[in-house]
């Protein structure tokens, strides 16, 4: 089961900081929810630099980023 990080309504850098804190738990999979393109890009960039593969799906006004350890 993936840990879910709901960063909707948050502006950068808060979604990245929330993701960074969650990654400290060393789960194999995370789902990050963001509602703007800037947060999507920044969280994706951070997750890739931390060694995660990122899959993105767009649902209405929401981006669901699925992070899995590479």
From 12, 56, 62, 66, active-site residue: 12
**Residue 8 is among the residues annotated as catalytic for this protein:** no
Give the count of beta carbons closer than 10 Å to the beta carbon of residue 19. Answer: 24
Distance CA 11, CA 26 (A): 24
Instruction: Report the C-alpha gap between 19 and 15 in whole angstroms.
Output: 6
Q: Please give the positions annotated as active site.
A: 12
């Amino acid at each position: 089961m993936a840990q879910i990080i709901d960063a909707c309504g948050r502006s950068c850098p808060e979604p990245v900081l929330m993701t960074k804190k969650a990654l400290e738990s060393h789960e194999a999979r995370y789902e990050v929810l963001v509602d703007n393109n800037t947060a999507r890009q920044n969280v994706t960039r951070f997750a890739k630099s931390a060694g995660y593969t990122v899959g993105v799906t767009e649902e209405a006004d929401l981006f669901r980023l699925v992070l899995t350890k590479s």
